[in-house]
Each structure stands twice: as C-alpha cells, then as structure tokens.
Structure 1
Amino acid sequence: MCGIVGVVSHSPVNQLIYDALLLLQHRGQDAAGIATSQGSTFSMHKANGLVRDVFRTRNMRSLPGTMGIGQCRYPTAGSSSEEEAQPFYVNAPFGIVLAHNGNLTNWEQLKIEMFRNDRRHINTTSDSEVLLNVLAHEIQQATTGYSLDPSTVFQAVASVHRRVRGSYAVVAQIAGYGMLAFRDPHGIRPLCIGINETPDGKEYLLASESVALEGLGFRFLRDVAPGEAIFIDLDRNLYSQQCAETPELAPCAFEFVYLARPDSVIDGASVYHARLKMGEYLAEKIRREIPAGDIDVVMPIPDSSRPSAIELALKLNLDYREGFIKNRYIGRTFLMPGQAIRRKSVRQKLNAIGSEFKGKSVLLVDDSIVRGTTSLEIVQMARDSGAKRVIFASAAPPVKYPNVYGIDMPTRGELIAHGRTVEEVCREITADRLVYQDLDALKRSISDANPALKDFEASCFDGKYITGDISRDYLDHIENVRGNPAPMNEDMVRSPLALKKLASVE
C-alpha cells in the first residue's frame, strides 16, 4: 500500500509534491521519494522515513522543475531497504522514472523474462522496478524512431496490461516528453486526476486519493478508469485512451474499510458515507444477535472506525462515548512490521479513560480485525479500566485470506480469522461477544455511496482473487518467501504451475 502523486505545473513542483505526500502519508510510513524533471534532466531524492523526515530544505532545493512525481511507501513486496524506496529510474529508452501503488502477482516470472528475453537487469527485489522495466521495454518495442507520441505510449501501456498481473496504479515521467499515468484493468488501487486553471494555463495533479487534490486547491476532474492511460505532454496537452482489452471496475473494498482517508472520494463513492452505512448495517445485525439491555455504551477504536461507531450508536439508540484517546504521534499500527512492535505500539498509541468503562457493558467498534493483536490488547485495556463486559464489533467481515494486491496481510497464519469460527476468534481476543459485518452488507455500504459500483476486490474476505492467477501453490510460495526471502528461481519457473502462469502472460 502506497500513496502516489504526479504534478504538471507552470511553476516549481517540489513543494506541491511534498504537500501532496503529506496528505497521503496515511498510505505509507516506511519511505518517501520525489523525482522532478527540468527539460530532459531528472532530479531525485528518496529515503526511508516519514515525508517530513526525508526531505530537508537542501533536498527540496535540489529538486527543480515544473513536472514531477512522488511516493510514500509501505512495502508489501520486496524489502524495507532504502534502495527500494521509490521512484525508480531506468535510462533507456529516453529515461523514465516511475512510482507504483499496488502489487504485481507475477513479478518473479516477469523478472526472469526480463533477464532472458528483454535483456534487462533488475537490481532489487521490488515488483515496482520490474514494472518500470516492463514499461520501458514495451515503449522501446513500440517506438520506431527516436521520437515518441501519445499513440505510441498507449500502445506500450496496452502491452504492459497484457503481460502484467496484479494491482497497479502508476505515475511516470518520460524524459523530454511528459507524464504518464495508468491503472490496472480492474482498477483495484485508486487513482484520480485534478485540474487547476491558472493565468499561464492548465495544471494537472494525479494522486491516489481526492483529498490530495482538494488540499492543494485542484478541482477534482475524475477518476482514472480501469485500464486507462493518461499522457500529459510538455505543453500541458492531455491525452487519454483505454488500453485494456476487457476493463472492469472492481475497486478494493478494504480501501473503504481502513486504508483511505474518510474525506476522500474513490471511484465516485465517499469513503465517509460508506463507513456510515457500515455502521448502519452492523447495527441491524447487532440488534438481531444481542439483546438491547446488554449494551450500556458504544465506543470506537480511533480513528477509522469512528463514523461506523457513531452511526451504529444512533441506530441502536445507545450512548456514544470516546473511551480511548489516541496519541497522534504514533503511526498506524496496521502498517508496522512485526507483531511485537504492533503489540507494544497499541499501548503507546491508545490510552483508556477509566471513568467511561467502570462498571459498564461496552460495545467496542473497530474497522476490522486482521491479526487480532490490536483487538486483544484493546479488550484487555477495557477490562483493566473496569468494564464489566466487553463486546467487540467489526465493521468489516472476517479477514480470512491473504491479500496479494498491495495490503500487508499475505500470510494465512497471521490472520486470526483464518480457519477459526467467530466464537473461536472471540475467545482469542478475550471478548465476551464478537459480531462481524456480513460481506454483502459491506459491499452494499459502498454501493449505497455510489450505485454504479457493482463489483469489488474483496479477496481477503471471500478468497476470490479477481485476477484469476492465484492458487494455493502461489499462496504457499509467497508465505515461504515471507519467512525465507529467497527469490523464485528458474527451476520454480519450469514447474507446471509457473509454466501455466507464464503461458497466460504470453
């Protein structure tokens, strides 16, 4: 999961990109990077850390130009090495820098293809570097001379769609030509574009979420369609084309549950409105399962569950209280690597107000339960503060399956709901009762925010992988890599499973 941004302006873009990354910081806390262009020359700075820590005044001064891209990263593929911070750069053809949000499911096979057939060397274990080199190769194949035009760029993106599997929202710069953005044929990860009318002409901003556009004074233009590519040349002319053969919009449901900011609108659906509806539908289920007198007060687990908890309390006619106070200087525990770090950070991040718990039967509402680490600690904090009964509710369904499209939940053994019943999960987190949202209700919550949305990528809830290339063997492999990070070798590629995948790519 990452936040990406691309800016085409009439004035220096370094500050604009920096400010946009601050607005997208919730999407990645591990690393940040900016690449700008002046003529045909790129300038770039990237490092591990939060945006505010990576960029100092001297770094900003070294990023001249009126066009640029940026990324804040949370790694779900590759490693946390500073070398894998984005953007990535390749010098041929033309010179390209690229930032990517998502996860390629066939990147290891593509890496071998790059070496064998395309004669390109991949220097890291990042799928984003693979994606950059696939794009560069396809641009080189599509180019007949030494110049580049939008139709050639779109031809290359169409070839990328045919070769690449997984989720990807991309912003890239091509030296001396302009900016390119495109989205995978299912639109799993979000990408939108905004416009700013100035006396000097139009300026454009592409970003993972609409909040980055609004915060910088750009007018929201539209979402980038699944499979679509947008090219903005050096004269600020915008070209767009559908480059996928069978595009079908199926955005990631977990964006609406947790990842996105509530003030964003993704694919025409307000995240805030969707979370309110999650609370409404969850209230209906709680009314059916728990007697009205068994709950004294409703409390959210700050912050992303707050809209759902407020609406739930309203629908059940129960008191709503803020029982936990959040330390704003501790990052999102979901994005922290390692169970021990997450467990320690929960106590540092949240502090209970004892008077709100003492002698009460409390209903705690969280956006989701993934690993269960946070839930267990929070239930214990409520009991330590004097709660006589702790009921836990999740605004999302049980997370039972790995997500392979850019969210860090890839190992089945890490998921508390995998292979367990609701009652067993309830015992694991030591709650008195546990209520999960139904998957149909979750999807309905998002569709209520935009009725045009019919399909969703919800594999972490239902195990149905929309790209059609994920098998049990594949999941076994990525779990083995997670525990023992050795890359896929040629023998593995010759296996029946891998050969079948390669055939589907070709």
Structure 2
Amino acid sequence: MSDAIKHECGIALLRLKKPLQFYLDKYGTAFYGLNKMNLLMEKQINRGQDGAGLANIKLDMNPGERYISRYRSIDSKPIQDIFSHINSRFAEIGKENPALLKDVDYLKKNAGFTGELFLGHLRYGTFGRNSIESCHPFLRQNNWITRNLVVAGNFNLTNVDELFDVLTSIGQHPKEKSDTVTVLEKIGHFLDEENDELYYELKAKGYVNPEITHKIIDTLNIERILKRASADWDGGYAMAGLFGHGDAFVLRDPNGIRPAYWYEDDEICIVASERPVIQTTFKLKREQIKELTPGHALIIRKNGSVSETLINEPKEPKKCSFERIYFSRGNDASIYEERKNLGRYVVPQVLDAVNHDLDNSVFSFIPNTAETSFYGMIKGLEDYLNQQKLQQVLELGTAITKEQLEKILFQRARIEKIAIKDAKVRTFISQDESRDDLVASSYDITYGSVIRGKDNLVVIDDSIVRGTTLKQSIFRILDRLDPKRIVVVSSAPQIRYPDCYGIDMAKMGDFIAFEAAIELLKESGRGQVIEDVYRKCKEQIQYPKEQIKNYVKEIYAPFTDEQISAKIAQMLTPEDINAEVSIVYQSVENLHKACPDNLGDWYFTGNYPTPGGNKVVNKAFINWKEGINERAY
C-alpha cells in the first residue's frame, strides 16, 4: 500500500495443557511454549511494529514464589528485544550449570517465563503515543492470586467516556481515560465482585481462608464476569485475559469486527488474530482451526478444559473487510483468493479507463502488498482477451489463415514490474504531524518498459487513503517513463469515513475522497450542504449515541462515484507531470462479492455496525469543520 494506514494490534495466547516435563521429554526443550510464542508473534509482525509485550503465568506455585512475568518493549525490533531479554536469563543459568536448563522444577522456581500460560501482543502507536506504558499486556495486581488480571487486545471502544463515568460512579479512580485502562478496570471490578461474593458465601459455610482460595479457583464464574464487564461496550474487540491462578479467556465483539482464531488438542490451546499464523507455527491444516464465534468467549480453565461460551448475543456479522484487503497475512487460503478476486472484479473499469486498448497498455502493481490483487487483475484481463479471441476466430470462420490465427492467439496483456521498492523504510510513523514526512519511501522504476508517448501505464494498489505518496512521489516516478496515461487502480472502494474499531483512520481530513467531495460541493454551488451537515451534527452532539444519525453521508450524496474519482485524480495530479492521470476504484458491490464473509464496510459506506460509529463520524466532521486536528474518539 502506498498510503500508510495502521492496524492497531495482534494477539497470541498459548496454554500448555501438560506439565513442562512432557514438552522437555517430547520436544527436547523446556522452552517449547516460549519458542512457539516467539513464532506466533513474529508471524504477526504485520499487525504491529511499534511495540510488543509478553506475559506468562506459572501454575501451582507456592506462596512467596513469583508466578507472573511480563516484559514489554518499544525497541526498533520489539519482538527480538523481548525474547533476547528473556533468553539472556537462560543463558546465565546455562553458563552456571547447563543441566539446569533441563530441570523444569528449578526453572519454574528461579526463572521467569517458564510457566504454562502465555499472552503476547503487538501494536502500532496511535493517538500520538508510543511509550512503554501504552504497550500491552496490562497488569492489575493483587495479593490474592485469583484477583490478578492480565489483559491485552485488538480493539477500540467508541464509548470510553461513558465507561469511564461508570467506573467513577462506583468509586474507582482510574489513572487515565483510555479504552485499555477502562477495559482492564471494568473486568477487574467484576472480578473483584465475583471474588467477594464467593469469599463470603464460602466463609459462611465454614471454610477457612486457604481453602477458600482453592474453592474460588475451582468455581470462579468467568462467563458472568465477562457478561457484566462487556454489557455496555461499543466497538470492535478481540480481548484476551489471564487470571493469576491460571484461567484465561478471549472475548470477541458481537459483530465479529476484530478477528480471532483458535485451536486445541490434548497438548495445547492457541488463539491468534490470524489463522495461517497458527497453521505455520504448529503445522496444522486450515480445517483444524476454528474461528471464534462473534459475541462468544473462549474460556480456558486452569484444569485445561476449553469451551466456547456465549457472552453477548451475536449481531449482524460485520467482519472488517480491510482485514481481507490489506491487514491480514496474504497466505491465508481464503484471503489469497479474495484478493485475487478484488483485482479480477475491477477489470471492466480498467478496460474503460484505457479505452479497451490492451495493445498499448502496460500493467503492473505498487509493491508489495498489491501483488496478489494484480494477479487477479491479470486473470480478469486474460478472461476478457480469451473472449475477444474467440469472437475474432468465429468471425473469420473457415477462411482464417495461419498468420491471422497466430496474430489473434498471441494477444496478451503486457505485464511488467514497473515500480520497485528497493529500500526498507520504517513507514509507520506514530506522530500524526509527521505523517506527510513518509513521502514515497524508496520507489524506483524499471526503465524501458513503456513505449514513450504511446502506452497507457496501469498500476494497481490496495487502497488510496490520503493519496499523499501518489501525489508527492509515485506519479512523478511513473511519469519518468513518459506514458501517455497513468491509471492507478484501487482494489478497495473510496475510503470516505473514519474507522473507530481498531484501524488508524480517524479524521475526515485524512481522506482524499472526502476532500474531493467538499471541492465538488463548492465548485457546483452546493456549499450550503457543508453548513447544513455541520448544523445537523452539532444538534446531535448531546444525543445518546443510539439516537445519532450519520449526516456526513449527505456530503457525498449529490455525486456519483465516478465524479468523485475524477476529482480525486485531478487533486492528486502533480502540476509538473506530462501524462494524463486517471484513478479507478473498486465498487462496494464487488467488494462484497469478493469478500462475502467480511461485510464490514463502514469506512466506505458510512454504515456503522454499532451506535458509537455514528457518534464518531459526526464528531469527526465537526472537528474538521472547526479546524480541530484530533481524533473523534
């Protein structure tokens, strides 16, 4: 993707269901779980490179023995930093006595991260922050083992203010107003209540305190804790948690916005944000891995039992389509096919953009993530050409000559690797005011691949958000080849609205489609629409989120997709290039056709799956109109 937009997080949870000695005997190492966590996190590096964290819980430790370990990093290579830090302790032990590295009892008593329960997290910095305090997992500590809580997640909640007020109304004093802290304290509050209820119930039955702790471990009602904690959450989430005594959970939002996959056998239970990550790490088949049902929690008890339990009634499925377009790893079997289809289904618009002149058109992609959709586009072009060839042969009939037949059969789409990203550049800048500085990374071109002044040059990209890199770099670079026309194809539809469920697309001014619609309104004498939308948004600002409507849709309503695309092309064309410029976008209809199981499309259509989405988009418009450069949630 030429524009850098960031996914907030990836999670990985691993529970070893056998004693550590089992893994040492079978796999030759006491660090089987730690090594697998390293792979699970490395294979999800696409989901976050600004920071990472790892937590571990040891089961059945004696009082006074450390049973929770956590390490977080914002190093330039945070995963490597975490595991280097952890492994340095084992290196010290090995120097003193190599035999101790195979003594699981010694390791559990004397070294961190040698427990049976792991939770890892990767993140991109958002809200202008990238401090160690912003890194998951978060830890809520207590001397009662059953009240300790570790939380990490891939999520964003739209109603943090409301949830914060709930916490203060029950007497809490949260250290900051963020969705992560709010979630941690909300779950922690009901965890405390559950502990209190069980304590007094068991105390009344005559149990003494040490017995009570063991009884609480056996009977803690995680389902009830999660139902009470998440009842008023508005947003997208895959939330993972560990309890100090060894229970664990992963909870998914009712619309299934954020992804979560899991697998279990008699040795392990794993949860990750992406299916192929589990496949690769544990050498599994696709059909062995399950998707966590929306509105459900995977609950892993200390005794090793695993169950998928209903927490919040599932709603209309709105799985994030951007997971399929861009964020998730492309080696998932379904995603690979979907991305090819995204390229295939945009072919009719591409043909129109080059006036069906395939003889004088060169096709390529913006590296590297658009490569799969490029393959699909070429397949679509081949299908079109085969139909054309068939028609030409039929028209010539039996009078066709060998030379005519060869000319027809040898027609094919001209494919070249035009753009080259020949240097690794850190293109995920957290500070908003620095985003424009990531102009163009390090693209270069393949000279001689285009016939000067004659060829159309068609390049496909995953999506176009701001268009900054296109305008400030890529168009100029492609223009060096002297094509007659440059056509940039977006395999995603026009991004028109902010995301508030875990993708860093938060402000109206970030979207070139929005800026184009605003310009069209002004040029067509419809500037009053802008004022009317602003007034309607302001009138709703004190409404409960359930009553708010998305009036920002009225900004786009007067224009066709093609009109907005043409305006985008005009706005992004640098003054100093010679080629004509066209921009072609995927249609929402074909997006749904390509990704039939991921129908979350609010950033394209404004149809938010939760009430908080409408609140966020209206606030984002107000911020834009009033010149306030901040997120709306």
* TM-score, length of structure 2 as denominator length: 0.69
SS of the counterpart of 1:262? Answer: coil
How far apart, in 2, do the equivalents of 1:262 and 1:442 lie? 17
Match runs of 1:476-491 below 5 Å: 476=621, 483=629
* Contact 2:351/2:357 (8 A) holds in 1: no
Matching residue of 1:159: 228
Matching residue of 1:424: 567
* Contact 2:261/2:292 (8 A) holds in 1: yes
* Contact 1:161/1:184 (8 A) holds in 2: no
How far apart, in 2, do the equivalents of 1:166 and 1:150 lie? 30
1:233 shift after superposition: 1.9
Stretch of structure 1 that moved more, 156-165 or 19-28:
156-165
User: Judging changes above 3 Å, is the alpha-carbon distance between structure 1 residues 32 and 476 closer, same or farther for their aligned structure 2 residues?
Assistant: same
Matching residue of 1:105: 158
62, 73, 82: which one pairs with 1:55? 82
1:188 shift after superposition: 0.2
* Contact 2:56/2:115 (8 A) holds in 1: yes
Stretch of structure 1 that moved more, 70-79 or 41-50:
70-79
How far apart, in 1, do the equivalents of 2:119 and 2:39 lie? 12
* 1:86-109 CA-partner distances (Å, limit 9, x unpaired): 100112561111111021111122
592, 597, 600: which one pairs with 1:443? 592
354, 359, 370: which one pairs with 1:305? 370
Matching residue of 1:96: 149
1:319 shift after superposition: 1.8
Is 1:177 the counterpart of 2:246? The answer is: yes
429, 445, 462: which one pairs with 1:367? 462
Runs of 4+ in 1 over 6 A off after TM superposition: 477-482
Is 1:319 the counterpart of 2:383? The answer is: no
How far apart, in 1, do the equivalents of 2:332 and 2:181 lie? 29
How far apart, in 2, do the equivalents of 1:274 and 1:328 lie? 29
User: Judging changes above 3 Å, is the alpha-carbon distance between structure 1 residues 228 and 149 closer, same or farther for their aligned structure 2 residues?
Assistant: farther
* 1:38-94 CA-partner distances (Å, limit 9, x unpaired): 136210000213334432523344422121101110134572222111100112561
Structure 1, gaps ≥5 residues long: 448-452, 489-506
* 1:297-344 CA-partner distances (Å, limit 9, x unpaired): 11111122111112212322422222122246334x3x4335775555
How far apart, in 1, do the equivalents of 2:296 and 2:217 lie? 19
How far apart, in 1, do the equivalents of 2:182 and 2:128 lie? 11
* 1:106-157 CA-partner distances (Å, limit 9, x unpaired): 112212321232x334334541221121112223334421415577111122
Matching residue of 1:115: 168
* Contact 2:440/2:469 (8 A) holds in 1: no
User: Judging changes above 3 Å, is the alpha-carbon distance between structure 1 residues 298 and 341 closer, same or farther for their aligned structure 2 residues?
Assistant: farther
1:390 shift after superposition: 0.9
CA RMSD of the aligned region, Å?
2.6
Matching residue of 1:5: 12
Matching residue of 1:262: 330
What amino acid is the match of 1:301?
I
57, 69, 72: which one pairs with 1:37? 57
Stretch of structure 1 that moved more, 25-34 or 358-367:
358-367
Question: Quick one: percent identity of the two aligned structures?
Answer: 23
SS of the counterpart of 1:426? Answer: helix
SS of the counterpart of 1:244? Answer: coil
Larger-gyration structure (1/2): 2
What amino acid is the match of 2:47?
R
How far apart, in 1, do the equivalents of 2:233 and 2:267 lie? 33
Matching residue of 1:192: 261
1:8 shift after superposition: 0.5
How far apart, in 2, do the equivalents of 1:380 and 1:327 lie? 17
Match runs of 1:66-465 below 5 Å: 66-77=116-127, 79-92=129-142, 94-117=147-170, 119-143=171-195, 144-146=197-199, 147-148=216-217, 152-195=221-264, 197=265, 201-217=266-282, 219=284, 220-264=288-332, 270-293=334-357, 296-317=361-382, 318-327=413-422, 329-331=424-426, 333=427, 335-337=428-430, 342=435, 344-357=437-450, 359=452, 360-376=455-471, 377-420=473-516, 421-430=564-573, 432-447=581-596, 453=597, 456-465=599-608
* Contact 2:147/2:191 (8 A) holds in 1: no
* Contact 2:353/2:582 (8 A) holds in 1: no
Of structures 1 and 2, the one scoring higher in RCO (CA 8 A, sep 6+) is 2
Higher strand share: 1
What amino acid is the match of 2:585?
Y
